[in-house]
Structures are given as structure tokens and as C-alpha cells.
Amino acid sequence: MATGTTILVGIGASAGIAIGRCWPVDRRKVRTPKRRLGPEEVEPELGRFRAALERSDQQLGEVRRKVAEAEGSSAGDHVAIIDMHRMMLKDEMLVLEAQRLVREERINAEWAVKRAVRKIKAAFSDAADEYFKERRADVDFVGERIIKNLLGEQVDVDEPPPEGAIIVAHDLSPADTALLLHDRKVAAFVTDAGAKTSHTAIVARALEVPAVVAVGRITALADRGDWIIVDGARGVVIIDPTPGERADYQVARERWLEHEQELLRTRDLPASTQDGVTVRLAGNIEFAEEVPSLLSHGGEAVGLYRTEFLYLQREQLPTEEDHYQDARRILEQLAPRPVTIRTFDLGGDKLPAGMRVHTENPALGLRAIRYCLRQPELFRAQLRGLLRAAPHGNLRLMFPMISGINELRAAKRALADVREELRREGHDLPPIPVGIMIELPSAAVISDRLAAECDFFSIGTNDLIQYTIGIDRQNKDVAYLYKPLHLAVVRLLKLVCDNAAAAGIPVSMCGEMAGEPMNALVLMGLGVTEFSMNGPSIPLVKRVIRAARAEDGRALAARVLTLTSADEIEREVKDEMSRRFGALLDHDAQVGPVSG
């Protein structure tokens, strides 16, 4: 279909360069027939609906079996997401609502399923963050499966792609991704829709398969067998490239792979500066599938394990046993490395569908530790599960969005009560470090007092920057004000690090700022002792740190604190980094096409 080279730009979801032939996967929206039923047709229609549910469950069970057989113990979260879809087939909001519509409004089952799905999706507020918005796609995938089975259409990928194929689709369900990836032959993914938090993107990053999502119209432009280049770092997709362009990108791919291999040479070496200061490089993860990638890139710990996945697409919150099993699995995979688990950061519109609380400004409302303390039984279930899992690894517990000392004391009191309960029940629990996230300016300003009552800090820079400068970086009208090196932010970082040092506790940073190698020297100079980021970001940050001197970092930090505007500070940091590490930091610009 493509006539000449076409270049598309989307969201780079997983780094790497791939060159291969297009293998389209038809994920077009199914057309839903609509018709009214006669009274005598109602019961047969309900029977048809039940049969479609059973068929859907059998299909997902078969996908689950194939993935579990192919991936063994590493299939964990793939299987969990498929299980979640199977559970949705039994969801009362879907099943009972569709049955009601068939019975009371006498509409056909396909139409009823469509309306029930729409009602569930409406429960996900438009104001929800990107991660939760993406979960609406899961509801769609389940609904489409049922409707396709009602229509007798093909549901799952029926023909395996050839080795080296580039999968092109409007979007991919978790079942699609599982089937396509389980034999590891796919070279890359490109989708019209999706986000960095979509399941395809997460799994692609975990398995280090290049991926570009949200391209918009790739399925309308690429045909089966077309040549495609995928540049996952830049978010670029080229359809029908010229032989010269393919050759250029092949060279770029080889350079990128060489660069990756070169960076990985330091995988097992400590992140120590030339003058003997060592920091810890850890990973941010949401799924157990990300652990192998984290370890292969030299991650020494998990600096942030987000537990929100446990809360998605449920009518009920997870049980103590759910928390225990999930935490135990992660701890055992990483042992004896430290794993910092953040108690849930939910509330407002970030809750399971049936428990959502609508509020005018959820980011500043009842969320994170505030919500936990308001819902003691819910908090207790998570704390009991985490403490029970503690003997299976090296657990560190972290409370999010602490704004003052009373919240910290209340959270610690709840933890102490749970520990005492478990002790009385006969559990032998090891002591665990308890820390807090510094993501509110109020916490940064009183960090001297907070440091006296916790074991570590973890700075969440994404929120700290937004709350300090007062901007929503997702708002394109003010996104230009999002400046990680704004003097107010730098001063708060310095204050937090100084107070932590005075109290003798470590300071981690787990926001995006930590994974940017350009910031490594100044952050180290300010006093950050642990950097937590996505696994693939670790090697380059480590190379910078190993080439640096901590003394130079302190001098750079002192200089930027004398400057005033964010632009001046950014320029000072960039000039210093380019002068000292230009060859390392400029490499990203060199891995593109030779003549492109």
C-alpha cells in the first residue's frame, strides 16, 4: 500500500532498532450488530451469551497454557494479566448488566455486551492518569472477544509470524502479545494506539524488543511483507525504506548493539567514582517480568516497586494473601538484593472500578497514605501481606506522599500494630527499614524532623517538581514550565540530602530525573546516594558515575546553587557534562542513521 518511503513518528516505548518485514495483525474494531428480540428469543439469546463467555474463557485458558509452557517461571505477569481477563469474564458489572439488557430491553447479546462494556469504561474517569486510562483497553479487549465469539469470528492470532517479523497492529491485547512473544521470534512492535504504560509497551521493554506505539495510522499504510524500520528510542517508523536507508539503519543498529554491549561491560562493577564514592543503582519496576532486564543491566536493587497493578480491574481490593504472594515472588527473585516496596498510591480516581471516588482535584485529594489511613482495614491487609513476605528476601517498606510528621507516625503506628498481631500469631518477622517518599514540598522543608523518625528517604522527583512549581506537565499549555533544574527544586533536593546526611540515613531518587545521565554528576554532588530508574538506563548512568569524581559533583552542585534561572542552571550542568563526558553522552546522537 505504501508508495515510496513514509516516515511516521509515535511514542518510543522500547529502545532498539529493528529492520524487518511487516506482519499485520488484524485488530480492527469488530462491528456490533444491533437488533431487537422477540419475547421468545430472550432465553435462547441468553444461552448464546453464556456459550460465548465459556468459549472466551476456554480460549484465554489455552493462551495461558501456551505462555506458561513456553516461559516457565518467567511467565508470571503475562499469566497474571491473562488471568485478570478471565476474571473479567465473570465480572458482575459485565455479565449481569449484559443479561439484564437482553432480558429487560430485549436487545441482542452483541449489543448488550457493547453497552455493558461502555458502562464499565465510563467508570474510569477522563481525569485518571495515563496508567489507569490504559486499563480501559483491557475492558475493550474482553468485550471484543465475547462479541467475536458471538459472531463466530476468529479471535486470537491464528498464524505465527515468521522469525524477524515486525508486528503491525491497531492495538494488541495481552493475549495477542503473549502469543506473539512467547517464542521470542518477533523483531519489533508498532501500533496505531497505545501508550508507554500499555501492556505491549511494558512487555516489550521487559523483553528488550523495540517498540513504537501511538503511531496513529501504521495499519492503514503498511501491508504484509513491506520493509519497515523501527527506531524504538526515537519513536520513528519508516515504511518501505530505500535500500540505502536500510543499509544506514543496519549500520546504526550494529553501532547501537555494540554500544549496549560496551555499556554492559560494567554490569558487574560497582557504581564508584574515581575518588572512591560509591552509589547504588537500582530499578523502578511494576511487574515481575521486568526483573530479568533489570538484573541484566546491572541493577543492584529495586528502588521502587509499584503495587498498583494488584488493584486494577477488580471489584474488590486485593486480599492479604494477594499482597503476600506478590511480594514474596518479587523478594525471592531479587534476594539478597534490597527491594523497596511502596505501599499503594491510590485514591480518588485511582481505585478499582467499583470503589472510585470522584473529586475535583484528585492529585491533591484523598490519595496515597491519606487514603490508607482513612481505610485502616485496607491498609492493614497490605501491611500484613508485606510483613509476612519479609522473611523471603530483603524488604524495605516505603510510604508515599507523606506531608507531615503526623502522617508518618500514624503509618508507623499501623505498621507496629500489624507486626504485633503477626508476632502473637507466631510469625517470626525480621526487622525491616521503613522509609518515606519525599514528593511534596512540605516534606522536603521539614525533612530534618522526618529524617529523625524513618530509615531512608526516596525522592519522587516527578511529583516534587510538579508540586513545587505548581504545574501539570501533562498540560501542554504549561508543560514548558516543567524544569527539573529549577532553582527551587535544586534547593529542596539539597535541603533533603543535607538533612538525611545529618541524620545518617540514605537518600534515593526514583523519579525520571534519576535516569537521565546528564543529571548524574550534580545529583551526586547534592548528596543523592541511590539512583533508581528503568533497567536499560542503568548502564550509561553507571558509566558516567565511574568516570566522574564526587569532588567535581560537589563543586558543580555548589556552582548551580549560586545561579538563579533554570536555563542558567541547565546550561551550566550541560556544559560541565559535555566537557567531561562528551563522548559518552553524545553517543545517542550517533546511533541514528548515517545519512538520515
- Catalytically active residues are 199, 510
Q: With CA atoms as reference, report the closest residue to 13 among 247, 191, 223.
A: 191
Backbone angles phi, psi at 162, to 5 degrees: -70, 160
For residue 338, the cross-strand partners are 394
The DSSP bridge pattern shows strands 278-285 and 530-533 to be parallel
Alpha carbon distance 180, 159 (integer Å):
10
- CA 538, 544, 548, 553 dihedral sign is negative
Tell how far CA 362 is from the center of its chain.
20
For residue 281, the cross-strand partners are 531
Q: With CA atoms as reference, report the closest residue to 545 among 528, 560, 562.
A: 528
Q: What three-state secondary structure class fits 509?
A: strand
The DSSP bridge pattern shows strands 271-272 and 278-285 to be antiparallel
Q: What three-state secondary structure class fits 142?
A: helix
Crossing angle between the packed helical segments 42-71 and 76-88, to the nearest 10 degrees: 170
Alpha carbon distance 178, 75 (integer Å):
9
Q: With CA atoms as reference, report the closest residue to 145 among 64, 103, 89.
A: 89
Reported in sequence order, the residue ranges of 389-433 that DSSP labels E, i.e. its strands, are 394-399
Alpha carbon distance 337, 466 (integer Å):
31
Q: Is 489:565 a contact under the CB 8 Å cutoff?
A: no
Say which amino acid occupies 480: Y
Q: With CA atoms as reference, report the closest residue to 273 among 563, 545, 575, 61.
A: 545
The DSSP bridge pattern shows strands 11-14 and 6-9 to be unpaired
Backbone angles phi, psi at 298, to 5 degrees: 95, 15
